[in-house]
Chains A and B, each alone.
Chain A
């Protein structure tokens, strides 16, 4: 009853919202939140394909790994943000311009 396309379109939309957040949000924590959105969209995509085309344990393992990677990355990212906050007293991405050339 629900074609695959709905899920794919939904996942694409969620992904793009997350992409927007990554590029547009000022607060670094918000950027991380947006990254989580993108990863969730990926998971949705994966499970949609698992359900519709490949009902195999492989896809599930893939999702598990993505989940684990997302967790690890969120942890490290937040740790870094906190460390930077402690040194620079700022949490805005715009202020971190050491790479400026």
Chain B
């Protein structure tokens, strides 16, 4: 086993363990923090895949924005007596079974694929400039880029509207 593989295994294991804690932690705060760890682990895996750009984006966007957002939501929806009860519902066993089956199914189907065991080829390296150009060029992927932007704007506006303070009946909505 090469050192690379060992590192991979350790990081993967850590990530998975954290993911497991996310889904089983009783206290929401703990779950959120475990989530942060998981996202970090995923970022490291991106690094092992020589996708340096995404490693950075993962940390900045996911951990820096989304995880924070989730922590905010946890804090805003805290109820006092909820922490002593189990975090999973009555059918957790069935959910676990089903997930296991899905995993087994996925692995079974993938293992039949001929390309399952491809070795890592050499590779010219990640070309960020090409990625940037592709994202904004009309011949490239400018339209998906713009659509994604619109999606984000829509999400933004929608979130503000939905999560805003309850309106008083006679007054007009203030935000825009």
Does chain A touch chain B in the assembled complex, meaning CB atoms less than 8 Å apart? yes
Interface residues of A (CB under 8 A from B): 1-10, 12-21, 23-27, 29-30, 32-34, 36-37, 40, 43-44, 47-48, 50-53, 55, 57, 60-61, 63-65, 67-76, 78-83, 85-86, 89-94
Provide 26 A-B residue pairs closer than 8 Å at the C-beta atoms, listed in order of the A residue: A1-B4, A1-B5, A16-B99, A16-B103, A17-B19, A20-B99, A21-B23, A23-B92, A30-B28, A37-B19, A44-B45, A47-B49, A47-B51, A51-B51, A60-B54, A61-B131, A61-B134, A61-B141, A67-B57, A72-B155, A74-B69, A74-B70, A80-B162, A82-B76, A83-B163, A86-B166
In the complex with contacts A17-B99, A48-B49, A24-B76 CB distance below 8 A: no
Does B117 lie at the interface of the complex (its beta carbon under 8 Å from any beta carbon of A)? Answer: yes
Known A16-B102, A23-B95, A61-B144; judge A36-B115 contact (CB<8 A): no
Query: Count of A-B contacts with CB under 8 A?
Result: 244
Chain B interface size range: 35 or more
B144 contacts which of A13, A19, A65, A74 (Cβ < 8 Å)? A65
Asked if B77 is at the interface of the complex by the 8 Å CB criterion, the answer is yes
- Across the interface, name the chain A residue whose C-beta is closest to B149: A68
The answer to whether B4 and A20 have CB atoms under 8 Å apart is no
Give the shortest distance, in Å, between B99 (CB) and chain A (any CB): 4
A29–B70 touching, CB < 8 Å: yes
CB distance from A41 to the nearest CB of B (A): 8
Considering the complex, give the chain A residue whose CB is closest to the CB of B25.
A30
Q: In the complex, A8→B5 CA distance in Å?
A: 15
**Residues in chain B near residue A76, CB distance under 8 A:** 155, 158-159, 162
User: Known contacts A34-B23, A69-B148: does B116 contact A5 (CB below 8 Å)?
Assistant: yes
Complex Cα spacing A99 to B166, Å: 23
- A-B residue pairs, 4 tightest by C-beta: A21-B23, A72-B155, A23-B95, A79-B159
Which B-chain residue is minimally distant from A27 (CB atoms)? B28
Taking a contact as CB atoms under 8 Å apart, the answer to whether A5 and B117 are in contact is yes
Contact of B77 among A44, A73, A81 (CB under 8 A): A81
- Tell me the minimal C-beta distance from B63 to chain A in angstroms: 11
Residue contact B123 to A82, C-beta cutoff 8 Å = no
Query: Is A64 a contact of B99 with CB atoms below 8 Å?
Result: no
Q: Which residue of A lies closest to B16 (CB)?
A: A13
**Segment 134-158 of B: residues with Cβ below 8 Å from A:** 134-135, 140-141, 144-145, 148, 151-152, 154-156, 158
